[in-house]
Amino acid sequence: MPANKRLHPSAAGEGGVNREAHRAAAGEPQVVRPHERASGMTRKYIAPGTQLAFRLSKRERDLVIEKAFLDPEVEQALHHAQAAGSKLVARLTLDDIDDLLGCVAAEANHCDDGKIQRVLDAVCDRLGALLDGFSDEVAPTKTASPSFPPKPRFTAKQGQYLAFIDAYTKVHRQAPAEADLQQYFRVTPPAVHTMVVTLDRLGLIERTPGRPRSIRLRIPAAELPALA
């Protein structure tokens, strides 16, 4: 584990970044983004680092760059998107797509302009479909014992979040808060919350909404990768 990354507990609970919980407490309608719907798709294996083609219009690309707080590498990939007919094609890895989805979803949740929100929602929907359709983790072999359920499929980045949750829980005897995940992985609060929502949707973790430090793994620790 790098020296500059430690499993420090945080005084902030999960609710500190759960914006939908704040909406509910304020009596506002909760927003469910298209990419947060459950999916029964079978995910196709691709090698780690493989770039996928993400198609979007020039207006979508420009709005995402203007409105969302993007990782510099992801923003550069969008700037370098190639024209293909009436669309642009950006080449993104699964980790890039995961980061982009978190940033765009966060902006969509706080957008006051209905037209812009619908454009960002459409981008989220297509990004979520790519994450649901592909995995860079090796699928379980057919020779596995039928008495055990197949291993869950998750991306390399999702595996690191799961490994951190497991390690943190063992060290501190309590689950991490979303703020702890944010501090360790050095990402924005919306990106962490989107990851937690995704892991919950995929059945890899379980949590109690509104209750801090309630994240629990739903897969055996033996199936987790080493924490980088």
Residue 105 CB-half CA count within 13 A: 30
Cβ-in-10-Å burial (0-12, 13-18, 19+) of 6 comes to exposed
> Both 126 and 179 in a single domain?
no
CA geometry: angle 47, 195, 41, nearest 5 deg:
55
The answer to the question of residue 110 being in a domain is yes
| Residue finishing a domain among 84, 108, 135 | 135
| Residue-range definition of the domain harbouring residue 43 | 31-135
The span from the CA of 105 to the CA of 92, in Å, is 17
| Per-residue pLDDT at 21 exceeds 80 | no
175-225: pLDDT as tens digits: 999 999 999 999 999 999 999 989 988 889 998 877 889 999 998 888 899
The span from the CA of 101 to the CA of 123, in Å, is 8
- Could you tell me whether strands 44-45 and 134-135 are parallel, antiparallel, or unpaired per DSSP bridges? parallel
Residue 42 is predicted with a pLDDT of 76
Q: How far is CA 169 from CA 91, 119, 199, 225, in A?
A: 36, 39, 17, 16
Residue 108 is predicted with a pLDDT of 82
The answer to the question of residue 141 being in a domain is no
Instruction: Find the CATH number of the domain harbouring 201.
Output: 1.10.10.10
The answer to the question of residue 45 being in a domain is yes
| Per-residue pLDDT at 53 exceeds 70 | yes
> Both 131 and 176 in a single domain?
no
The span from the CA of 16 to the CA of 177, in Å, is 9
Q: Are 189 and 151 in contact (CB under 8 A)?
A: no
The answer to the question of residue 3 being in a domain is no
| Residue finishing a domain among 79, 102, 135 | 135
The answer to the question of residue 166 being in a domain is yes
The answer to the question of residue 7 being in a domain is no
| Per-residue pLDDT at 164 exceeds 90 | yes
Residue 150 is predicted with a pLDDT of 54
**Mean of the pLDDT values across residues 124-131?**
88
| Per-residue pLDDT at 29 exceeds 70 | no
> Both 166 and 129 in a single domain?
no
69-117: pLDDT as tens digits: 888 888 999 999 999 999 999 999 988 998 898 888 888 888 889 899 9
Residue 130 is predicted with a pLDDT of 87
> Both 127 and 54 in a single domain?
yes
| Residue finishing a domain among 78, 110, 135 | 135
Residue 44 is predicted with a pLDDT of 87
Find the range with the poorest average confidence among 7-21, 52-66, 112-126.
7-21
Q: Which of 195, 201, 193 is nearest to 41 (CA)?
A: 201
| Per-residue pLDDT at 19 exceeds 90 | no
> Both 36 and 126 in a single domain?
yes
> Both 43 and 120 in a single domain?
yes
pLDDT category of residue 38 using cuts at 50, 70 and 90: very low
The answer to the question of residue 205 being in a domain is yes
Residues near 81 by Cβ (< 8 Å), separated by ≥ 6? 56, 61, 88, 89, 90
The answer to the question of residue 170 being in a domain is yes
Residue 12 is predicted with a pLDDT of 43
Residue 93 is predicted with a pLDDT of 92
* pTM > 0.85: no
**How many percent of the chain have pLDDT more than 90?**
40
> Both 83 and 127 in a single domain?
yes
Directed axis angle between helix 156-172 and helix 94-109, to 10°? 70
**Mean of the pLDDT values across residues 160-182?**
93
Q: What are the tokens at 39?
A: 């999916």
The span from the CA of 185 to the CA of 192, in Å, is 9
- Our count of domains for the chain comes to 2
